[in-house]
Chain A
Amino acid sequence: MIASLATILLCQLLGEAIAHGLGLPLPGPVIGMALMLGALALRDRARPRLPRPLLDGTLESTARALLAQLSLLFVPAGVGVIQNLNVLGQYGIALAAALVISTLASLLATVLTFVWVARRFGAAEGEP
């Protein structure tokens, strides 16, 4: 558990260092995710001598435990709504319309493109 958390934080820390060091427009945690992906691929290919928790599935279960509560992590930022009630009140209808229409449009554009291209280029679900 501790080794798993330390590995996750280490990836994020390296990601932040790379993002800020190189001035990339990407957030550190997203680079950290790519680093973790690379680390997992290396681990399973090279089978290095690592602490047991990183090999026996503890890393995987720690990550799943964290992701199972992903919704909770947005609550503190969401409560920030109370700081912006004046802007939301002033432009409430326009913002509500923009958010609902744009979210609907982007859901539709994404899913229809995905399904169309998957069918067109034979990447249908469940194919070998």
Chain B
Amino acid sequence: MTVPDFALWVYLSRTPLLWLTVTLVAYALTDAASAATNRNPLANPVLHAIWIIAVVLALTGTPYATYFEGAQFVHFLLGPATVALAIPLYEHRRTVIKALAPMIAALVAGSAVAVASALLVGLAFGLPRAVLIALAPKSVTAAVAMGITQTLGGDPSLTAVLVILTGIIGAILVTPLMNRLKIADWRARGFAAGLAAHGIGTARAFHVNPVAGTFAGIAMALNALLTAILVPAAVSLLAR
């Protein structure tokens, strides 16, 4: 009896269908849990879906490359979703244009602090240069951050992981932090979430408030541009 079962498993575990299904089922469960806890930051659906899938892969001895053959269909949609950010941006354009001055100031301050603080804490802990290069662009959306690291001779796959972890940390921290600071301006809250925690922060902001989500999307796009310029300079200055 075990032989045909095993053959079936070998067949299924190699098709994209299985791992695409596992990704969607895991996320459907964690997103339902997040909604059931009224979007509690600690019930972050990305965080919990990732470890659940990682455990499934470890238990079945499946390599990441095999998993990604199925999951790439979901991963691919990151690009179209970035383009789609233009729609809420366009719908809220009047609110956005009015906030141009605070946005530019916050972009410059936030982007510089994100890069410099990551490098300084890393240096204080004596991280090697290769890891520092992977760490510096951590607040930027994965595709751009990986490109920055690659240009500087670092490991882009480590960057991707640090970027996702930053996004989860930011998405968990942003709501309690802003509530404690008593900041009621949704534009400022969203802008900070998108700048510090890219797309995962933006997803969090859209869950909380549409204006916050719009400003998070803008911050994410602008920070991708500025960080690509800042990181090479900061690395040559701080991590020679």
Give the B-binding residues of A (Cβ under 8 A).
5, 8-9, 11-12, 15, 25-30, 32-37, 40-41, 59-60, 62-64, 66-68, 70-84, 87-88, 91, 93-95, 97-111, 113-118, 121, 123-125, 127
Contacts and interface: CB of A to CB of B under 8 A. Distances in A.
A40 to B, nearest CB: 5
Interface of B: prevailing SS: helix
B79 interface: yes
Contacts of B126: 94
Given A84-B161, A107-B174, A26 B144 contact: yes
B6 interface: no
Contacts, number: 324
A111 B80 CA distance: 28
B57 A117 contact: no
A83 B187 contact: no
B83 A33 contact: yes
B123 to A, nearest CB: 9
A15 B185 contact: no
28 contacts: A9-B80, A27-B143, A27-B144, A29-B83, A34-B86, A37-B89, A63-B87, A70-B202, A72-B45, A72-B46, A73-B75, A73-B77, A74-B78, A76-B71, A77-B160, A91-B127, A91-B131, A98-B117, A103-B170, A106-B113, A106-B195, A107-B170, A107-B177, A108-B192, A109-B106, A111-B178, A113-B106, A118-B102
A70 to B, nearest CB: 4
B75 A123 contact: no
A66 B78 CA distance: 9
